[in-house]
Structure 1
Amino acid sequence: MTAASRIDRPGGVGALLELDRLGPLTFRGRAHEGERVRLYGGEVAAQAVAAAARTVPPGRPPNSLGAYFLLPGDSTVPVVYTVGTARDGGAFSTRTVEARQPGGAILLATASFQRPERGLSHQVRPAPVPPPEESPPVERAFADDPRTLAFLSEVTAWLPVEIRFPDGSLDVPSRSGHIAALRFWMRAGHRLPDAPETQAAGVVYLSDLLMLAASVQPHPHRITDGTVWFATIGHSVVLHAPARADDWLLYEIESDWAGAGRCLTRGRLFDRTGRLCGSTTQEAVLRVAEPG
């Protein structure tokens, strides 16, 4: 990916979440400069959450999102988000969101928002890993793997994010022993506003990052080969606790199944204290080009 196709802008993820309000329930995300590329799915999902959040009663941060991607987005064209008011109850608000470009709808989503409550509490704990400060930057971790380094450098040049791999690997299953697993630290590359709905939308933005890389690990293919083709079908995020998207989050990803030209991955998002802040699932098309 060339510098001209970079979809970052000054202000990073926070700037991407600044939508223009066209009406009470209609919002617009701004087009990116440079050459036309496919929009990052996490951006469209995060903007859908940000649009919906602006229509709910105060004091109800997002608690979940379920999104279906219908068409690839065009980075050079604004995206218009139309919000539907499905329900406002005593504790929860539910919104539908349709994201459209001139070619048609590119995303359909349902977002839920909850007034803070107390309740029973338990969580799974993350496997022990070095903190992000002790995990080497990508340039050092993959200095002897130029193909993977080029891929990850392209990702971080394209998106305003930082990533570090405590296991020092993208392609070898992590120490969890799962057939297909991956974990890494990630954060937005710029500070975001403190508003809970903005931080939550930032976490949704990050949640799409590298999710599908784990699904090829049991196979003789790599995401860096150029023969593997992915397209996300559906992406869901459940937010368990407030988290800052501009501080390091540990993403543990596992792929339990692939078949029929599709794959399924699931993820867990922990903050640096080990608190489980979110859970994700993603279904995608997974195809490999035949030789010759």
Structure 2
Amino acid sequence: MNDAPHGAPHGAPKDDAPQGLPGLLDLLDLERIDLDIFRGTSSAAPLVPRVFGGQVAAQALVAAGRTVPADRPAHSLHSYFLRPGDPAAPIVYTVDRIRDGFSFTTRRVVAVQHGQPIFHLSASFQRHEEGLEHQEPMPAVPDPLSLPSGEELLPRYAHLFGDPSVVERMLEARAAIDLRYVDAPPYASVGRPREPKSQVWFRTNGKLDGAADDPLTHLCLATYVSDMTLLDSILLAHGRGGWAVGDIVGASLDHAMWFHRPFRADEWLLYDQESPSASGGRGLAKGRIFTADGQLAVSVIQEGVMRVPRARG
């Protein structure tokens, strides 16, 4: 029985959960343990021993959305990463029903592990209304199918990573998502600073249908992917390869998203990203997600820790 007003995926993840898109949908399918309390499982980020931030943000949005009527999709979220998540332990999400108004609904979610908050999110939901319309134009980019897939791109740079398992781990972590860089990624641009801009096309590796084909599911999948590459533009400005090559120690600090127009996560989306500033051991990046037909669907802003590792000796 689906206890989610939005019809989000249901059924608790199991130890032998499938991989790829079915595995990601299982990961985003939280167990309801009380009216406004949910529990989720985790997987480790591919290159660091902590939970991937996009997973926590997406699960928190699932928890918030399951307490909101289906006719009020999320239009924004604002969140902070407080502590690293432990991939070996479940995460408990507690939802606070801040406000249920005539047009808007507000929820606050706290994610807890080992008795301590690791993440908190505020999300706002709105009943559909007609209003003013305008948007920035979509940039001109190559067709996604003309660009190399991750399976084609990553092995080309295996020699840069040092550890031969890095490619395998990165591919496994992104098995649910077909993500294609428009230009060379940071790990291919080490030592060659360039304009702090990065673009990727993405979609799920498989179509969403049945209970998974739900507006909340599409929003949560975009939230998950939005944390994968957003800090790339900061690295590009300094010719740094990032976590894959070990020349930056970083982590997400906060994450905000605004959902402007409907979209499908199983259809191609362009993620246009840039960094206006880096200072004080932090970097700021902002992104725009467009549908393939040019609709501006989502705006994203994130700040992250950006520290250069100290030389040994």
TM-score (norm 2): 0.82
2:196 — aligned with what?
180
Q: Which amino acid aligns with 1:229?
A: V
Instruction: Give the Cα–Cα distance (whole angstroms) in 2 for the partners of residues 51 and 63 of structure 1.
Output: 15
Residue deviations 1:207-254, cap 9 Å, x none?
111111210222242213312011111001111111112222111110
Equivalent pair of 1:256/1:265 in contact (CA under 8 Å): yes
Residue 158 (1) aligns with residue 173 (2): yes
Residue 222 (1) aligns with residue 246 (2): no
Q: Which amino acid aligns with 1:290?
A: R
Is 53-62 or 158-167 further displaced after alignment? Answer: 158-167
Residue deviations 1:128-172, cap 9 Å, x none?
112212212234446653356876653331233221122344468
Equivalent pair of 1:65/1:111 in contact (CA under 8 Å): yes
Counterpart among 46, 59, 62 of residue 74 in structure 2: 62
Counterpart among 260, 270, 273 of residue 250 in structure 1: 270
Is 209-218 or 94-103 further displaced after alignment? Answer: 209-218
SS at 1:65's partner residue? strand
Q: Which amino acid aligns with 1:154?
A: R
**What is the Cα deviation at residue 111 of structure 1?**
0.5
How much is the aligned-residue C-alpha RMSD, in angstroms?
A: 2.7
SS at 1:45's partner residue? helix
Q: Runs of 5+ in structure 1 lacking a partner?
A: 1-5
Equivalent pair of 1:7/1:32 in contact (CA under 8 Å): no
Residue 118 (1) aligns with residue 119 (2): no
Is 127-136 or 107-116 further displaced after alignment? Answer: 127-136
Equivalent pair of 2:27/2:42 in contact (CA under 8 Å): no
Seen in structure 2, the aligned counterparts of structure 1 residues 189 and 38 have a Cα distance that, compared at 3 Å, is farther
Seen in structure 2, the aligned counterparts of structure 1 residues 32 and 153 have a Cα distance that, compared at 3 Å, is closer
1:1-292 equivalences under 5 Å are 8=19, 11-32=22-43, 37-141=49-153, 144-147=156-159, 154-159=169-174, 160-170=176-186, 179-192=195-208, 193-223=212-242, 224-292=244-312
Instruction: Give the Cα–Cα distance (whole angstroms) in 2 for the partners of residues 58 and 144 of structure 1.
Output: 45
Residue deviations 1:30-72, cap 9 Å, x none?
2459x99311111110111111111112300111111100011
SS at 2:237's partner residue? coil
The sequence identity of aligned pairs, in percent, is 37
Equivalent pair of 1:73/1:101 in contact (CA under 8 Å): yes
Equivalent pair of 2:253/2:303 in contact (CA under 8 Å): yes
Residue deviations 1:47-106, cap 9 Å, x none?
111111111123001111111000111112111100001111111100000000115111
Q: Which amino acid aligns with 2:183?
A: D
TM-score (norm 1): 0.88
Equivalent pair of 2:98/2:107 in contact (CA under 8 Å): yes
Seen in structure 2, the aligned counterparts of structure 1 residues 229 and 168 have a Cα distance that, compared at 3 Å, is closer
Instruction: Give the Cα–Cα distance (whole angstroms) in 2 for the partners of residues 180 and 172 of structure 1.
Output: 14
Instruction: Give the Cα–Cα distance (whole angstroms) in 2 for the partners of residues 196 and 168 of structure 1.
Output: 32
Q: Which amino acid aligns with 1:155?
A: M
Instruction: Give the Cα–Cα distance (whole angstroms) in 2 for the partners of residues 45 and 107 of structure 1.
Output: 8
Seen in structure 2, the aligned counterparts of structure 1 residues 53 and 179 have a Cα distance that, compared at 3 Å, is same
Instruction: Give the Cα–Cα distance (whole angstroms) in 1 for the partners of residues 42 and 200 of structure 2.
Output: 30
Equivalent pair of 2:20/2:205 in contact (CA under 8 Å): no
Aligned length: 284
Q: Runs of 5+ in structure 2 lacking a partner?
A: 1-16
Q: Which amino acid aligns with 1:259?
A: S
Q: Which amino acid aligns with 2:248?
A: V
